[in-house]
Amino acid sequence: MKNKTLPLHLMTYGVILISCNQQNITQSNTMIPSHTNILISAENNVSISEWSLSRDDFDLGSESRWSVNLTELKGGKQDGVKIIEVNNGKMNISVIPTRGMSILSVRYEDVFLGWDSPVKEIIHPKYIDLEANNGLGWLEGFNEWMVRCGMAFAGHPGLDEGRLLTLHGKIGNIPASEVEVIIDEDPPHTIRIRGKLNEVSFNGTNLELWSEVSTIPGSNSFRIDDVLTNKSLKDQEFMVIYHANFGAPLLEQGSQLYGTIEKVVPFDDFASADVNNWSSYGEPSLGIPERVNCIFPLADEGGNTHFLFQNSNGDRAVSFMYPREQLPYFSQWKNMDTNGYVTGLEPGTGFPHNRSVERKYGRVPTLKSGTSRKFTLEYTIHTDKDGIRAAVEKIQQIGNNKIEIATTVIAK
């Protein structure tokens, strides 16, 4: 195999800081002048271990003292894992390019998005055997705030047409092959972390995901903008669930979930016994089995679905919105066990059954050869009680406060 020759700017500096016209994937056909910094490039044999950039490095007129730092972890099963820390001056976001561009955690003032998983290290994918424990090996690295499930399949492990599908797919354990940090020159000087993930095998899946996490300096919000492309010559099925996990301080006895919701259906018989309490949360208790509810969201006039999760006092919350057409289903995972007290609030293209079950109910979409599909989610952290109350009232008005509760499980 011939050695590739690196472009001159990569050979000289190892990382580039250039002014260019970078296409913004969140706004079609819009070109934004920006500074682009390449941190990882499999194509060009580049992998930076330590790197930083801040407002002090060039003057864009931003008032917030933002910064971006790349660190490579050492020791144990996390050895070699890269973390990108984004500080927008108010909010800290930790992205893991080594683990599928997952988001480890988000912090804003005294609000933390994440959870206390029994898995303490950020496990390198090379130590994860997805087929272990009858397809549950994914759990050995599960500790992120947000991990994507998919892309060829998601949901519970099991056989589909004679093939073992492991829990929640492969994408969360695929290292990004291209990663770049982009700072928009024009106000509001958006900070973007972009990465490319390839889920591909010979004569099989050939899916490419470009993932972007972005935030505006000084804001209490951030966005996820993903573009999934079928690179195969054949049409391909796909599944995606945005598995966002919340623990303390938002999750506690008395926490509440609100949403623009049409219907709530229990996933199984255990959830069925408690489905009427779907929106409220209890205290942690050892040995309680997990409950999952399947939710059918409603959209506002602009086509967006809205959710808000708040603490018991109603003075700390996170709200999020996304186009319902992109992610028409929503899974609520309630794990009240002391050993990992957490709730998963999970927009998706389907529910977390095995692909064989979801296909039966028409919830496995197909991506035609050469085409793409976008997914956009926007999260906002709230620390104002009046503002939280107003957001809840808006959600209730959109949904007309009428939610159908079913007691029969959604699928056998």
Percent of the chain with pLDDT over 70: 92
Please, which residues have CB within 8 angstroms of residue 209's CB and are 6 or more apart in sequence? 148, 151, 171, 196, 197, 198, 199, 226, 227, 228, 229
| Residue 197: other Cβ atoms inside 10 A | 25
**Span 321-380, pLDDT tens digits:** 999 999 999 999 999 999 899 999 999 999 999 999 999 999 999 999 999 999 999 999
pLDDT (tens digit, 9 = 90+) per residue, 46-88? 999 999 999 988 777 778 899 999 999 999 999 999 999 999 9
How far is the CA of 199 from the CAs of 98, 164, 238, 263, 349, in angstroms? 14, 17, 11, 33, 18
Closest CA to 218 of 91, 103, 107: 91
The reported pLDDT for the residue numbered 32 is 57
Average pLDDT for 276-302: 95
Q: Using CA atoms, how far apart are residues 387 and 98, in angstroms rounded to an integer?
A: 37
Tally of CB atoms within 10 A around 11? 11
Q: CA-CA distance, 192 to 180, in Å (whole number)?
A: 8
Are 322 and 378 in contact by the 8 Å Cβ rule? The answer is yes
CA distance 314 to 384: 9
Q: What is the pTM of this model?
A: 0.92
Domain positions in the chain are 8-405
Is the pLDDT reported for residue 1 higher than 60?
Answer: no
Fold classification of 8-405 (topology level)? Beta-galactosidase; Chain A, domain 5 (2.70.98)
C-alpha atoms less than 13 angstroms from C-alpha of 290 in its C-beta half-sphere? 14
**What pLDDT digit, counting tens, does each position of 183-236 carry?**
998 899 999 999 999 999 998 999 999 999 999 999 999 999 999 999 999 999
